[in-house]
A and B are shown apart, each in its own frame.
Chain A
Amino acid sequence: MRPVFFFRHPTLIVSLAIVSVLALLRIILFEYAQMIYFVVFYISLGLAFNVFLGFTNYVCFGYSVFIALGGYAMAHAIKWFAGVLNPPLVIVIGLLLAILYALILALITGFIGLRLKEAYFAIATIGLAQGVRFFIEGFHVWGGSEGLIVASNIIAHYGSKWLSTISIDYADLLMFSTAILSILITYYLLNSRARYAFMAIKEDEDVARSFGVNSVKYKLLAFTISGILGALLGASKLLKDQAIFPGEAFSLTFTLEALVITLVGGKGTLMFPLVLGILYAGLKYFLTTMFPGLQLLIFAVIVIVVVELFPEGVAGWLRRRYKGTLMEKIIT
């Protein structure tokens, strides 16, 4: 039974295996927990971003807004419920809030932007992250420009031991869960009837509509899921960092990083954003130590080069080389 299952769902097995190995390493090699967290963060970022980019060919340039909203949601949960409920429950509430905030923003932005062509949507979303940021700073809500710090709340209500438990164990658990959830969702979308809809929408939206595909509905679906996954990512990031500041939370850097991962890896696939997430984390770590201050420059160049010369990414290149074999199926 098991060999057959593997051959029918190779991508799923391999991706879950990779994440499991990482989880194992995290437990065994405790000293590397921080680095492994870093890697899983980028895996999740790549996969979450890819759910929208890879399935619709639209780019949400303000993607960091979802990550930030997730962080704020978790911060709100802690600020409002710390001391009233026990920590795991507070975290669950934080997750639910993150989903809620992301859902609302995605539906509003999607409703306005996804009925339009990619260029208009890009324009709308480049301003999106900044727009929300300026709302927070301009109207002094949610901590305004000073941001929110939750460490004090946790220590005050639960003690400092809980602080390290949350910031180390719970944050990592949540991050791993987000990665697995992203894998499962991506895999499901790649194998359900939705796959046909997305295939058609990417090729030619007018033709897709002539054949009965409600393109706006599917675009909105992908966008909302991608946003929610991003928010979950942000929620776990808040648990790790214990603070959130609008100046950096809404920066466009995450979008650039996500673009590197998905474009170089191969958009629309499952394996490659995952693998690239790992490689990217490594690359970033390397660059931070060797050439600090040059990372963004190098990543920007990478995006331009990939777009010009290898638009389908590594996945596309490998797919052509191993056409017709099991490898090809794994790559999808």
Chain B
Amino acid sequence: MEYSYILINILSGVMIGLLYSLIGLSLTFIFGVLQFVNSAEGQLIMIGAYVAYWLFVLYGLSPLVSLLIASLVGLVLGMALYTTVVKRLMGLPALYSLSAAFALAIFIQELAKLLWGPTYRGFIFDMGSLRVFNFYIPATRIWGSIISAMLVFMLYYYLYRTKSGRVLRSIIQNPEGAVLTGVNIYRYYLLALAIGIGLNVASGSVLTLYVSSGINPYMGDVYTNLAFIVAVLGGLGAPEGSLLAGLIFGLIESLLPAFLGNIPNVGAYPATRFFMFVILMVVLLVRPKGLMGR
């Protein structure tokens, strides 16, 4: 094994890991505040990817711009979802919100298929590449990593340095107690879901900076599973853990196929996805709280 090859994989792992951190952050943040498992995360990422696609194909907008629009779409969707679906489910047994989220995921997926057809879409957006050793890293990926990191840190800043962010953190830490403090908790739930879904859809656009092909209505499942693993690994409901968990996972995912591909008779892609699942199970078995969970 060449060292430069390993280093490139590590770099690649960190870069994709930052996106994974963002994806996991959305899920864990929403769960932390609302106790709602957003099983539709992957499908909302799909929406974000389609937003980038259509804006590029129809108006020539770069994904860097599209992601702003995607965030807005996400914010509006988040508010809509709260008022129509999530609000009434809070306080009811978990099975209802879990089923609703599951059904929502399928609904979004099927609706996308109805509107845009099942065909795979893609676009080419080239910003040049950076040469590292003998490898070329696409500049879009670099931008993707930077933006992912920015979004993650923006949320951290918001949660730790602003007044409303602190309220949200207190809700995360003490769901029952927060209601008693007299703050209008419904406004905060709305806010949290809007922000969370905003990040969710935005990450779909950011994704196109990494991979701008293979966009189709059924692409979401992989990302939902990914969000789950990163969120659980970092600590479900503990936004602080997403950054580290995403990076760890990105590294694992980058280094594993190379390793698995060497084993004969093993398909690297499905085997990697199987290991993703095993990692999730191991975390749930050994330390369900995750790295930073309470």
Residues of A within 8 A of B (CB): 53, 57-59, 61, 112-113, 116-120, 122-124, 126-128, 130-131, 133-135, 137-140, 145, 202, 252, 255-256, 259, 263, 293-294, 296-297, 299-301, 303-304, 307-308, 311
Contacts and interface: CB of A to CB of B under 8 A. Distances in A.
Contact of B110 (A112, A133, A297): A297
Contacts of A57: 93-95
A82 to B, nearest CB: 26
19 contacts: A61-B39, A61-B102, A118-B95, A123-B236, A124-B281, A126-B225, A126-B228, A130-B225, A134-B274, A139-B266, A139-B274, A145-B270, A296-B109, A297-B107, A299-B106, A301-B107, A304-B103, A307-B96, A308-B88
Contact of A255 (B102, B224, B229, B236): B102
Interface in B81-117: 85, 88-89, 92-100, 102-104, 106-107, 109-111, 113-114
B121 interface: no
B135 interface: no
B267 A300 contact: no
A116 B287 CA distance: 11
B189 interface: no
B278 interface: yes
A208 to B, nearest CB: 14
Contact of A256 (B85, B96, B102): B102
Q: Which of B98, B236, B272: most chain A Cβ within 10 A?
A: B98
Given A112-B281, A255-B102, A311-B92, A126 B267 contact: no
Q: What interface size band does chain B fall in?
A: 35 or more
B103 A127 contact: no
Given A112-B281, A112-B285, A303-B103, A120 B95 contact: no
Interface of B: 31, 35, 37, 39, 85, 88-89, 92-100, 102-104, 106-107, 109-111, 113-114, 221, 224-225, 228-229, 232, 236, 265-274, 276-278, 280-281, 284-285, 288
A120 B288 contact: yes
Nearest to A298: B110
B213 to A, nearest CB: 21
A138 B270 contact: yes
Contacts of A304: 85, 100, 103-104, 107
A119 B236 contact: yes
Given A57-B95, A112-B285, A117-B94, A127 B100 contact: no
Contacts of A59: 95, 98-99, 102
Nearest to B269: A138
A263 B96 CA distance: 9
Contacts of B85: 304, 308
B93 A202 contact: yes
Which 6 residue pairs are nearest across A and B when measured between Cβ atoms? A131-B277, A138-B271, A138-B270, A303-B103, A118-B94, A300-B107
Nearest to B102: A61
B153 to A, nearest CB: 26
Contacts of A293: 113-114
Contacts of B232: 120, 123
Nearest to A123: B228
B284 A138 contact: no
Contacts of B111: 297
A138 B273 contact: yes
Contact of A134 (B100, B104, B265, B270): B270
A126 B231 CA distance: 14
Contacts of B274: 131, 134-135, 138-139
A311 B228 CA distance: 26
B277 A127 contact: yes
A291 B224 CA distance: 29
B288 A137 contact: no
A53 B89 CA distance: 17
